[in-house]
C-alpha cells in the first residue's frame, strides 16, 4: 500500500471500517474486496463530515474545482478499473473515471482532498 493510500484511509474512512480498508488495500489478493466495494457500497465507509456534494461538472470543470481546492498535477488512483494503484496526471484520471462509474477514488491530497465516484454517487471528500 502506498503512503498516500494510508493517509487517505486514516483521514476519510470511518473508524469501524478503517482497519479492514488498510489490511485489504495492503494485500494484493484482498485489495479487490475494497475496489469492488467502491463500486457498490463505498459511501457507507466514508466519514460523512467530509463528504461534499458536487455540482454537475464536465471533466475540465472538475479538474478546475479540485485544483482550486489544492490538488496538484497528479493523483493516486484506487479503483475497480485496471489502473488501480497508479499515480496519474489529474486531468487524465478525471477523463478516465468521470462518468464511467467504475468505483474509484482519486486521491488529490492524501489527507485533505479526494474525488469519489461509485456506481451511482459522485462526491468530494474534503478535510480542508
Summarised one tens digit per residue, pLDDT across range 93-102 is 999 999 877 8
CA dist 36 and 101 (Å) reads 12
Amino acid 44: pLDDT: 84
Amino acid 64: pLDDT: 97
What pLDDT digit, counting tens, does each position of 41-67 carry?
777 899 999 999 998 899 999 999 999
- pLDDT of residue 104 exceeding 90, the answer is yes
Average pLDDT score over residue span 83-95: 96
- pLDDT of residue 17 exceeding 80, the answer is yes
Using CA atoms, how far residue 117 sits from 28, 43, 86, 98, in Å, is 22, 9, 17, 7
Range of the domain at 48: 3-126
Domain count for the chain, please give it.
1
Amino acid 120: pLDDT: 82
Please state the pTM of the whole predicted model.
0.93
Report which of 110, 85, 87 is spatially closest to residue 26, judged by C-alpha positions: 85
Amino acid at each position: 500500500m502506498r503512503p498516500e493510500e494510508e493517509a487517505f484511509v486514516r483521514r476519510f474512512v470511518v473508524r469501524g471500517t478503517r482497519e479492514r480498508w488498510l489490511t485489504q488495500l495492503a494485500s494484493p489478493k484482498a485489495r479487490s474486496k475494497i475496489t469492488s466495494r467502491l463500486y457498490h457500497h463505498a459511501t457507507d465507509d466514508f466519514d460523512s463530515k467530509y463528504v461534499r456534494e458536487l455540482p454537475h461538472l464536465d471533466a475540465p470543470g472538475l479538474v478546475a474545482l479540485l485544483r482550486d481546492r489544492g490538488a496538484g498535477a497528479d493523483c493516486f488512483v484506487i479503483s475497480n478499473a485496471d489502473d488501480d494503484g497508479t499515480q496519474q496526471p489529474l486531468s487524465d484520471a478525471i477523463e478516465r473515471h468521470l462518468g464511467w462509474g467504475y468505483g474509484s477514488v482519486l486521491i488529490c491530497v492524501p489527507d485533505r482532498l479526494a474525488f469519489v465516484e461509485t456506481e451511482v454517487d459522485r462526491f468530494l471528500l474534503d478535510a480542508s
